Amino acid sequence: MEPRARSAYRVSKLFHDRTLNVVPFDFKDRNGPADWGNLLGIIRDRECDAILSLGRRWGVGLLMWLTGIPQRVGYAAKGKMFLTDPVPLNLDQYAAYMYHDLVKGLGINVPSPDPEIELLKEDLDWADAQKQALGIGDAGYVLVHGGSSKMAIMKGFDKIYPIEKWARVLGEIQQRQPDVPIVVAQGPDDAEFVASLKQAVPSIKTIIPSDLGKLAATMANANLTICSDSAPMHLSIALKTYTFALFGPTDPAKLMPKSDRFVGIKSPTGKIADIEPRAILDKIFG
């Protein structure tokens, strides 16, 4: 498990099982031969029957072969010569279905289920307490998540919608639905974004979840979520919350399942900043 992925496991019912054995390893770190050798030793000691990997590079296939695990499942890509059960890679579909295709290598031929997550009671209780503290009570709200991770920014991913356009969208939502609060979720890298948005729209409320479990619980209480193409979007989809997501260069058809509950708003130019507020409002109120 990648250490930075640890928080994602908080919303997975499989990883709520305390007996599950998880081995943390930072594949993106500057690992030397000793680090890789130690990882292989740990895996070999567990005498696993099968290994399944999303990686497509030949180095990933080689690493799988070196584990000595008898059944090795992965995509039929560059490292397929190291696999016992390569699976055809179909990129022209919803990403969750693409990942689910891998279980065919294990002889499991069933349709992909819809994404779902399981929330801890402590996270649900936290979200309810935040509602009371914000004066929302039992009423619903519009949840906004407009930030982006430092890694996405460093890699140049186009996921941040301009503050002035957010202000126009949220201002009209408030005008049309004055009794519905607007809550902005602030992630660990979003302080500057949220401060600027609150300056532009002073009436919005702010909530600061400390992990993905609490963010998901916050989304579960919302009437709808407005966000960019990001990890929070997938949480909202898994919760079956009405979701309106903004897309720049990425394709909504590959990142959202087909459903009236999930609406992708694609930029006409491939740049997220070029989505007009009117296009978002028409989707929400249309």
d(CA 207, CA 198): 12
What is the domain count for the chain?
A: 2
In a domain, 169, yes or no: yes
Q: Are 114 and 196 in contact (CB under 8 A)?
A: no
Which two tokens mark 124?
A: 């649900």
Cα separation values, 13 from 47, 118, 142, Å: 25, 5, 27
Q: Does residue 200 lie within any of the structural domains?
A: yes
Specify the pLDDT at position 273.
94
pLDDT tens for the 286 residues of the chain, in order: 787 777 788 898 877 766 677 788 888 889 999 999 999 999 999 999 999 999 889 999 999 999 999 999 999 988 899 999 999 999 999 999 999 999 999 999 999 998 999 999 999 999 999 999 999 977 789 999 987 656 666 666 678 899 999 999 999 999 999 999 999 999 888 888 999 999 999 999 999 999 999 999 999 999 999 999 988 999 999 999 999 999 999 999 999 999 999 999 999 999 999 999 999 999 999 8
Residues 68, 43, single domain; the answer is yes
Q: Measuring CA to CA, how many Å separate 251 from each of 42, 90, 218, 242, 277? A: 39, 15, 26, 19, 19
**pLDDT tens for residues 237-254?**
999 999 999 999 999 999
The helices-and-strands tally (H runs, E runs) of the chain is: 11, 9
Whether residue 10 lies inside any domain: the answer is: no
Q: How far apart are CA 10 and CA 169, in angstroms?
A: 32
Which ranges in the chain belong to alpha helices (H)?
A: 33-45, 58-66, 95-100, 121-133, 150-154, 163-176, 191-200, 212-220, 231-238, 252-255, 277-285
Statement to judge: residues 60 and 141 lie in one domain: no
Q: Are residues 85 and 154 in the same domain?
A: no
* 210 strand-pairing partners: none
Exposed / middle / buried, residue 55 (Cβ in 10 Å: 0-12, 13-18, 19+)? middle
126 in the same domain as 102: no
Report the C-alpha gap between 246 and 183 in whole angstroms.
18
- Please give the pLDDT value at position 17: 67
Nearest-angstrom CA–CA distance, 236 and 78: 34
**Same domain, residue pair 100 and 138:** no
Q: Which amino acid is at 177?
A: Q
Q: What is the pLDDT, as a whole number, of residue 75?
A: 96
- Residue 47: domain span: 31-106
Q: What are phi and psi of 66, to 5 degrees?
A: -70, -20
CATH number for the domain including 205?
3.40.50.2000
Q: Classify burial at 210, counting beta carbons within 10 Å of its beta carbon; exposed 0-12, middle 13-18, buried 19 or more.
A: exposed
Do 132 and 217 share a domain, yes or no? yes
CB contact at 8 A, 246 and 280:
yes
Question: Where does a domain end: 106, 136, 158?
Answer: 106
Is residue 65 within 8 Å of residue 55, measured between CB atoms?
no
